[in-house]
A and B are shown apart, each in its own frame.
Chain A
Amino acid sequence: MEKMSRVTTALSSNTISGKTMFCHLDAPANAISVCRDASQVVVAGRNIFKIYTIEEEQFVEKLNLRVGRKPSLNFSCADVMWHQMEENLLATAATNGAVVTWNLGKPSRNKQDQLFTEHKRTVNKVCFHPTEVYMLLSGSQDGLMKCFDLRKKESVSTFSGQSESVRDVQFSMKDFTFAASFENGNVQLWDIRRPDRYERMFTAHTGPVFCCDWHPDDRGWLATGGRDKMVKVWDMTTNRAKEIYCVQTIASVARVKWRPEKRFHLATCSMMVDHNIYVWDIRRPFIPFATFEEHKDVTTGIVWRHQHDPYFLLSGSKDSTLYQHMFKDATRPVDKANPEGLCFGLMGDLAFAAKESLINSDTNRKPYPGGDRRNPLFFFKKTDPTEQFAHVSSALTIYQTGLDSNNMDWFVSTAQRYLLTGKPFAELCDHNAKVARELKRPQVSTTWTMLRIMFSDPANLPAAGLNHSLSKLGSLPLMNSFSLKEMGSGLASESRLERGKGDSRQDNIHLETGNSHISNNNEENEETEGSDGPAECMFGDAELDDDDLYSMDHENQAEEQEYTLPQEGFQLRHEIVDNPSAPEHFQQDKADSPHVSGNEAEVPCLTPIESFSLISISQPLFTHHLPASFFCPIVREMLSYYAEQGDVQMAVSVLIVLGEKIRREIDDLTQEHWYMSYIDMLQRFELWNVSNEVIKLSTCSAITCLNQTSTTLHINCSNCKRPMSSKGWMCDRCHQCASICAVCHHVVKGLFVWCQGCSHGGHLEHIMNWLKSSAHCPAGCGHMCEYT
């Protein structure tokens, strides 16, 4: 330290130049550090400790600090730091617990200057004070941080975190505080002058916090990265450390470094698995701003080449290379990301998000009257000239299918009313056909009826079929021209109904990330008036969806064909299911009975006589000559057809009702797929009972095991109202039996039934017996208990 002199010149960024380049090291690097004038870099690792000069075209090895015949463990570095004021001074943290300083001004080959062996365990981090020349801080696995004065032989103060190993220490830029991150997830703030206790401590991550970094300009912003794959930015200026940004990465975060001159940018690299270096804009935490993908093994050290130049990044890696990355050569993941999103809602609504420019460029806008049904929200973005993300804001458009949300009612009531088991096959089919017909789904209804005919036991069918049709005269259309007619007319009326609801409601929501505020002024309103432009794309027939054009006349003018195509876009609506086959029926319908219109069509068509005649025709056709297996391929195709059309409900219901008759015809994966889709839909409609019944009735092992999982029911203690963790009947905390039978006064360990009025109850059996003799509560509370 003889010739220490302060270097104060800050180079302007334009003196640095270079290109993306790399050089091979002899051994994996653990850490790198750059000298103040950005001309040299030191690389340290277990078996390497070298200084390279950074030239225009290449790295040139300047000095090997690892000297001696048999280098001691003091050379095995976990971390290295180049002093930012004194260009000859370096410090390393050794894996054996030593803190070593090196003076490059020494004339001898061995540049080792001082050796501090006060730590008992590996030292993870060393850090020079940014302005005080002689102050060095170290953090070690033994849980201690030590502050060294380089003019003295030993540490001047020791900070005990009273928690686990220290992973990182960082001096704050301007004052005497430093931050330390710990293996147990804590971050502590210390004043260097007060070694007795920390000023502040908070838990930043679950699991170790591997790194932290103070913002170079914003005082009080601290970025931390942890094993939990998160980078968090904390505002330390307030009383409590406040998390202001959080970036979720894909692997544990080993290093984090703020990008110079860019307020919201920071660079990270990961500890394991992922080898890339990411630069994030913390306001946009879901996609990296830039990526450097050069390394073949994990990156262990990253450093910005110059503290005022944001375009050069140096990195060292376990793959034994040292890289200089140019920012202009970085990969920009945002360019490859798909900027559009599309999703169907439960009721058939459609949400569509796209770049704002895309939406706005739509010239086909029309004014949208009837503003009462729209509720536009504008998340408005202030354009920042320095902002480099190309498309930060996007517009979200929601298309609604109908005025009233009951267009999925058919699904719900079908699910609830269908019988899938518990009766003879023919009755199930009849019942389901009836349900479908009542819900105005004639094709489905007919399918059920056909199934009954096809698969009923030939011996029993004549009697059963006959009896049945007799008992339900006129209500069960079988297969003949009349039923086709009925189907056609039914469809027509439905389609018209659908037209009635067919206007679309559009909400334009402009979203943007980062700092945003909501404004709601009229000019912006106009901008989005024309959002039915995209709607046209969706519906193919734009005028149908425009409110102002809608009138009753349309019903008559519209050609049937027009309905069929556009509506295919909506898979969830049953109309689509029927439509593709509809046109031919329509033709027939028109040809046969042009007078038919509206719902009355059914009634005149179905007279008892017709039904009778039908049976007499159909029975000889199917019952005696053809075995049930003959129909299997047809039924299989029919099921696939329904599933393809989005009516997976029909496919699954038929599958369950037919059971063994059809199961072998369809491969297991397809079945499983159908079941999963149907169960998923049922659960989204909160039809838990139906979904559970379907699970129970399914024969796929992958499905039946669904209701074997998460069968635990968590309950709270009736005394202390806290959750009971270990046992269902005894509370750990208040040591009371939580559920005591009001009749026998014993603990109920099995089924417990209670009155919801007075919340007294007991063993199911006891309560049942009790209620036979008395209507009052057995606990004597006087409540007239009600059980369902």
Chain B
Amino acid sequence: MRHAVASAQNVENTSIAVTDLFKICNHCERLRKKDLGVRIPRPLGNGPSRFIPEKEILQVSKVDSRTQSIFEDAFAALGRLDNISLVMGFHPQYLESFLRTQHYLLQMDGPLPLHYRHYIGIMAAARHQCSYLVNLHVNDFLQVGGDAKWLNGLGEAPQKLQQLGELNKILAHRPWLITKEHMEALLKAEEHSWSLAELIHAVVLLTHYHSLASFTFGCGITPEIHCDGGHTFRPPSLSQYCVCDIANGNGHANQHDDQLDDQDMCGEVEVLMERMKQLQECRDDEEASQEEMATRFEREKTESMLVVTSEDEECVPSRDISRHFEDPSYGYKDFSRRGEHVPTFRAQDYSWEDHGYSLVNRLYPDVGQMLDEKFQMAYNLTYNTMATHKDVDTSMLRRAIWNYIHCMFGIRYDDYDYGEINQLLDRSFKIYIKTMVCSPEKTTKRMYESFWRQFQHSEKVHVNLLLMEARMQAELLYALRAITRYMT
């Protein structure tokens, strides 16, 4: 391991050497010219994220020592520092917990063989057409000795994994439909059956990658340079822009627009803070009646349905990825539809802290603890700032976001007034949340930009972390509840 750490520094050194040879695009600080006749791949993306200007993202060489060491550990463990980690680097405490969990899930002792784990990751990410994660794990899958034939489609994979397809599908889009029969089908399938421990491992992996796909789209993570779509051999254009500007619409003009918008929306943060304050104060005064509370949840639930997710573009899944899953038409259907009535999931009856944790930790030791820490980290993470304001108690806002996501999955907290959500989350933000959580592949840059315009990118990443963890927990709760029911 010591050698691996050393090479992190070598990377830096070589990058210095390279800059001597090439000119650098003055906008995106990327290499522009090359005249040596060697076909050198250039990154297509503009930094780790399409949404966040590269200069906003922490430079690996300039981060504080703590983040630095987390990055180094990640590099040592994986042999790469992926764009997800770079973007999460805004929140080093969380990143640490995230990487530890992911590392444990993928590499440490566990009931599933290594190539299965990556394949399950591919299955889960493919469900959301997340080519970024699929490509990443296709590489890993082959590296740990996976059979390349499996990658031709789920049909080529062992029967055991094929059976997981159904669970994957439901879990990704309509987790509330999971019943113990689904679990039973997996656990009692003759020679292809899963053991309970394997199933828990698989479920944790599936939910992890579903939600990570949400994050990937929500933050517009760009492909890694070594993956498909991450690089090009085309020579850079001769104009003063480099290709990346045009490809991603990240030119100067665009930025100018943003500034104009900022002036329009300048009161946004203040309004939000004012509302939080009001809610804090008047909560004790006017107590909503019980009926009122119940209807508020229903209203929020139905309203979340009305939030239109797809903007104009229809995203066609590329054939390349859709082969990893079946039934591409199956997507998120709103929880509260007329016709099919699914009972509301009461958070008090099956909570992560009391029930989910115990089940996971029993069947897959240590993972329960890690997930618990990760959820708590995401839920409690705060810097007490909002945009430019300091010393703000954001707990209300965070709870509203968390509960709103659980609400979309039909999970209700008895002790929460869902009226707060309406006060705190505006429409564009709701659109973003809904898109990201339910059909992340449709997230666009415009959605990302149109909510909370005055907030910093790091805060938007923070929101993304919340969304991701809340989604993971929601899916996990449904799956674990079904397993518990199977067991009793």
Contacts and interface: CB of A to CB of B under 8 A. Distances in A.
Contact of A727 (B2, B348, B488): B2
A96 interface: yes
A70 B291 contact: yes
B76 to A, nearest CB: 9
Given A78-B348, A273-B487, A297-B488, A227 B357 contact: yes
B287 A749 contact: no
Given A122-B415, A712-B1, A726-B69, A208 B353 contact: yes
A520 to B, nearest CB: 44
A183 interface: yes
B362 interface: yes
A729 interface: yes
A99 to B, nearest CB: 12
13 contacts: A73-B414, A97-B415, A119-B415, A122-B413, A122-B415, A227-B357, A271-B358, A272-B354, A273-B359, A275-B488, A727-B2, A727-B5, A727-B72
Interface in A54-84: 70, 72-74, 76, 78
A141 B348 CA distance: 11
B415 A141 contact: yes
Interface of A: 46, 70, 72-74, 76, 78, 94-97, 117, 119-122, 141, 183, 207-208, 210, 227, 251-252, 271-273, 275, 296-298, 318-319, 712, 726-729, 732, 749-750
A73 B413 CA distance: 11
B73 interface: yes
A761 to B, nearest CB: 15
A256 B99 CA distance: 37
A271 B5 CA distance: 44
Contacts of B413: 122
Nearest to B485: A297
A96 B1 contact: no
Contacts of A252: 354, 358
B169 to A, nearest CB: 27
B358 A727 contact: no
A251 B1 contact: no
Contact of B414 (A96, A117, A207, A210): A96
Given A73-B293, A121-B415, A122-B348, A251 B358 contact: yes
B348 A95 contact: yes
Contacts of A141: 415
A296 B3 CA distance: 55
Given A73-B290, A729-B2, 14 more contacts: A46-B346, A70-B291, A73-B294, A120-B283, A121-B415, A208-B353, A210-B354, A251-B358, A251-B362, A271-B358, A728-B1, A732-B65, A732-B69, A750-B3
Nearest to A97: B415
B488 A726 contact: no
B353 A183 contact: yes
A120 B415 contact: yes
A59 B413 CA distance: 33
The 3 closest A-B pairs by CB, nearest first: A72-B290, A95-B414, A272-B358
A207 B366 CA distance: 13
Contacts of A296: 488
B415 A96 contact: yes
B6 interface: yes
Contacts, number: 91
Nearest to B7: A749
Contacts of A726: 69, 72-73
B2 A728 contact: yes
A733 to B, nearest CB: 12
Nearest to A747: B6
Contacts of A727: 2, 5, 69, 72
Given A73-B290, A273-B362, A750-B2, A122 B355 contact: no
A119 B69 CA distance: 43
B162 interface: no
B428 interface: no
B102 interface: no
Nearest to A120: B415
Interface in B49-95: 65, 69, 72-73
Given A96-B415, A120-B415, A275-B488, A74 B290 contact: yes
A533 to B, nearest CB: 44
B414 A749 contact: no
Most A CB contacts (10 A, CB to CB) among B293, B355, B414 go to: B414
Contacts of A271: 354-355, 358
A227 B3 CA distance: 41
B484 interface: yes
Interface string B344-382: 001011000111011100100000000010000000000
Contacts of B372: 207
A98 B290 CA distance: 11
Contacts of B73: 726
B348 A749 contact: no
B414 A76 contact: yes
A498 B94 CA distance: 65
Given A70-B291, A227-B358, A273-B358, A95 B415 contact: yes
Interface in B270-308: 283, 287, 290-291, 293-294
Most B CB contacts (10 A, CB to CB) among A95, A207, A272, A298 go to: A272
A96 B359 contact: no
Given A72-B291, A726-B73, A728-B1, A272 B355 contact: yes
Contacts of A74: 290
A48 to B, nearest CB: 13
A443 to B, nearest CB: 42
Nearest to A749: B6
A227 B351 CA distance: 13
